[in-house]
Each structure stands twice: as C-alpha cells, then as structure tokens.
Amino acid sequence: MSAGRSPRRAARTRLQVFRVTVLVLTGAFFVVPLLSMLDFSTRVFNGGGRTGSAWALLVADPLLRDAIGTSLLLSLLTVVGMLVLLVPTLVWVRLRVPRLGRTVEFLCLLPLTVPPLVIIVGLTNVTAWLSYLFGDTPSWLAFLYVVLVLPYAYRALDAGLAAIDVTTLAEAARSLGAGWWTVIVRVVVPNIRTALVSASFISIALVLGEYTFASLLNFDTLQVAIALQSKANAQESVAASLASILVAALLLVGLSFVSGRRRSGGGVVATAVAPTPTGTAAPTPSEEPR
C-alpha cells in the first residue's frame, strides 16, 4: 500500500515544485522591472545614496500635476458616459429585442479590431465638431474614450446581466407599478453592482494608460506628460510611470477582490408579492346571499 502511495506522493511533490517555480519566475518577471524603476527613480547619480526628489515632483511639477488632474477628470467622465450608454442599452436589448444581442456585441467589440490611429483618422470630422462645440478643452476626449473602453466594459456588464434573471425581475417590478426608470435604477442596478464596479475599474485603468488619442489631438494627459518629461527629467518620468502602473495594479487587485466577494456571496434571490386581482375577491359574510 505504501509502495502504491509513494509514486503518487512523488508526483504531487514534483507538481507542487513546478507550480512554485513557475509562480516565482512569473513574479520575478513582473517585479524585477518595477524594482529597477524604483531604484532608478530614487538614485543619486553624483554622490550616491537615495533621494525622493523625483517623487516629490509628481505633485510639484505644474505640467505633471495638471496632466494627472486631466486624466482623473477624463476617467470620471468616461465611466459616467460608459454606464449611461451601456446599462440602459443592454437592459433594453435583453428585455425587448434579444435578437439584437449579437449585433450590439459586434458593435461593442468592433474597436478591438481597429487601431487607435485609424479611429482618430476616421473620426476627424467628429473631433472637429467636438472642438467647435466644447472649445479647446480635453474634456471632450471622454467621448472618444467611451468608444475605446466599450469592448471591455461590455464584457463585464454582459456577464453581470447574464448572472441574473433580468426578465423576471423586470416583470415583477412592472406588475407592482414600477416604471422603466425605477426598474433599471432600483431593481437591475443593485443586482449588477459588481459588474458596474468591474467595468468602471477597467475603464479607469485604460484611460490612465491611454496615449495615442491624447498625443495625436495635442492634449496633455498623464501618459503624454510622462513622454514629454522623459526628455527633460528621466527620473521624474520613470517615477510617474511607476506610480501609474501601481495605481492600475491596485485597481485590478480591487477588481479581483470585489469579484471574489461576489462569487463567495452567492446569487441574489429576488422575490415579489403578486398584486391581488381586482374583481375576484371572495365576498364578505355580509355580501353572501342568504
């Protein structure tokens, strides 16, 4: 019996060693460049030692500070625009025209197949009108970023809606007198909160890392400012790059944490009290025929 177990134990040991080795090598592949960036951004090249001056410039440098504010504003506007566009659309498609689900999916995933440079060239007339209507402000970049994040946000929201019975929830709410706005805001949205957070986090990470749109349209966002600062102060540029990577990583870790809580919490069971039909109530004793 022990002889039969020994090969199994040896196989499990080898498999465990292989898993640990792969995990360590993968971790080193990601961690070593980050540590190198931290080392470069804090090193004093003339006299040796360490300094945090490059990190202090992240908030002291006017160009970088304004670029961070612009990117955060664009992240907020993009998330709001994405949710306002996708949530009602996906709910409406599932409830009213499910046959258009594939068409909506194709349209949302289409930006994945088109390079950003081609999108900018194709939207030249659109960007000209946006510049005319909103002026020389980077805020209207949010319209383009909504298109950019559509494939990723669609997948997150579609998975959230697929996990619940939208039709039953909507019919129960409508039978109790709720309007469509109430159905979406007070019935559907609370049940896909995890999907909303996932789509928002992914959108924020994409906007903070976007360079092509802002660079071609001559707006100073975080990534454009990092590229400009790399020509004047390499340490500050590396510090800003490392900070943006860490922020994106924290967002993805938060996304994993929220998704894990959703899976461990189980599904949502929705119940509704059916209204009493009018005109069919049992007669009271005083109304019964004698």
Q: Which of 70-84, 132-146, 182-196 has the highest mean pLDDT?
A: 70-84
Question: Is pLDDT at 267 greater than 50 in this prediction?
Answer: no
Statement to judge: residues 15 and 154 lie in one domain: no
Do residues 41 and 97 share a domain? Answer: no
Q: Yes or no: say if 190 and 125 are a contact pair by the CB < 8 Å rule.
A: no
Length of the chain: 290
Is the pLDDT assigned to residue 2 strictly greater than 60?
A: no
Name the average pLDDT for the chain: 83
What is the average per-residue pLDDT within 63-90? 92
The pLDDT value recorded for residue 108 is: 93
User: In terms of residue numbers, what domain contains 34?
Assistant: 11-51
Identify whether 154 is part of a domain: yes
Lowest average pLDDT, out of 9-23, 120-134, 263-277, goes to 263-277
Question: pLDDT band at 19, cuts 50/70/90?
Answer: very high
pLDDT of residue 83: 94
Total number of domains in the chain: 2
pLDDT of residue 282 exceeding 50: no
CB distance 210 to 221 below 8 Å: yes
**Average pLDDT rounded to a whole number, residues 210-219:** 89
Average of pLDDT values for 187-207? 90
- Cβ neighbours of residue 169 closer than 8 Å, sequence gap 6 or more: 183, 187, 188, 191, 270
Q: Does any domain span residue 6? A: no
Q: Report yes or no on 233 lying in a domain.
A: yes
pLDDT at position 127 over 70: yes
Q: Are residues 99 and 235 in the same domain?
A: yes
Q: Is a pLDDT exceeding 70 seen at residue 23?
A: yes
CATH number at 169 reads: 1.10.3720.10
Q: Does pLDDT of 184 surpass 60?
A: yes
pLDDT at 128: 87
Same domain flag for 259 and 142: yes
Q: Is residue 2 part of a domain?
A: no
How would you write the chain as a 3-class SS string?
CHHHHHHHHHHHHHHHHHHHHHHHHHHHHHHHHHHHHHHHHHECCCCCCECCHHHHHHHHCHHHHHHHHHHHHHHHHHHHHHHHHHHHHHHHHHHCCHHHHHHHHHHHHHHHHCCHHHHHHHCHHHHHHHHHHHCCCHHHHHHHHHHHHHHHHHHHHHHHHHCCCHHHHHHHHHHCCCCHHHHHHHHHHHHCHHHHHHHHHHHHHHHHHCCHHHHHCCCCCHHHHHHHHCCCCHHHHHHHHHHHHHHHHHHHHHHHHHHHHHHHHCCCCCCCCCCCCCCCCCCCHHHCCC
The tens digit of pLDDT for each residue in 234-253 reads 888 898 889 888 888 887 78
User: Are 74 and 191 part of one and the same domain?
Assistant: yes
pLDDT at 278: 42
Tell me whether residue 250 is in a domain: yes
Least confident of 37-51, 101-115, 116-130, 270-284: 270-284
